[in-house]
Amino acid sequence: MKFSGKSWEKSPGKRKETALGGSDTLPDMVKRSAGLLMYRRRQGVLEFFLVHPGGPFWVKKDAGSWSIPKGEYTPGEDPIEVAKREFEEETGFKAAGEFIPLTPRKQPGGKIITAWAFEGDCNSSAIKSNTFLMEWPPRSGRQQEFPEVDRGGWFSISDAKEKIIKGQAGFLDELIRILKS
């Protein structure tokens, strides 16, 4: 739906080329994100780069709270370009190389994440994230600034599966299958 003046108007859905839960039409109101899953091999061990969200809600959360660097996009934006931009904004590192498309994943909240994997390396302790403002503490009237990502890390397959948000775990499994073939 789009807001037009004082009334809501329905707008046509966007057609997706890949099946998501049996339907390939996504209404404009479905939130979409695009992200990149960076991986590397260290002494023959496959590792994944994940980021931990910043802000007070995530401070004490670890298992099941890490993510691929990603961000929302709107119809008309090129998802791969959004994924590259968000990766750089959230980590301070420029993504480069061959980008392997992964199957889009519908999250439990309904958001669709489109992702690509690429082989790369970075110093996870040197990330520099953009920031956001929010009222904190709640109902205090004070705005505080927080990093969108407060840290990054490299994880083995088993550790990454423990750390990553449940709805994104399929990206890890798919990339492992791709790399084995």
Residue 23 maps to a domain: no
Residue 115 maps to a domain: yes
Number of domains the chain contains: 1
Q: What is the pLDDT of residues 85-106, one digit of tens each?
A: 999 999 999 999 999 999 999 9
Q: What is the pLDDT of residues 110-138, one digit of tens each?
A: 999 999 999 999 999 999 999 999 999 99
Residue 9 maps to a domain: no
Residue 17 maps to a domain: no
Cα–Cα distance between 69 and 168 in angstroms, integer? Answer: 11
Ranges of residues in the chain with a pLDDT under 70 are 1-28
- Given this model, what pLDDT does residue 169 score? 97
- Given this model, what pLDDT does residue 156 score? 97
Residues 6 or more apart in contact with residue 48 via CB below 8 angstroms: 37, 38, 39, 154, 155, 157, 160, 164, 172, 175
- What range defines the domain where residue 47 resides? 31-180
pTM for this predicted structure: 0.82
- Given this model, what pLDDT does residue 27 score? 54
Residue 168 maps to a domain: yes
Residue 172 maps to a domain: yes
Strand 45-53 with 131-135, pairing = unpaired
Residue 19 maps to a domain: no
- Given this model, what pLDDT does residue 78 score? 97
- Given this model, what pLDDT does residue 59 score? 87
- CATH no. for residue 167? 3.90.79.10
Residue 6 maps to a domain: no
* DSSP class per residue in 126-158: G----EEEEESSTTS--EEEEESEEEEEEEEHH
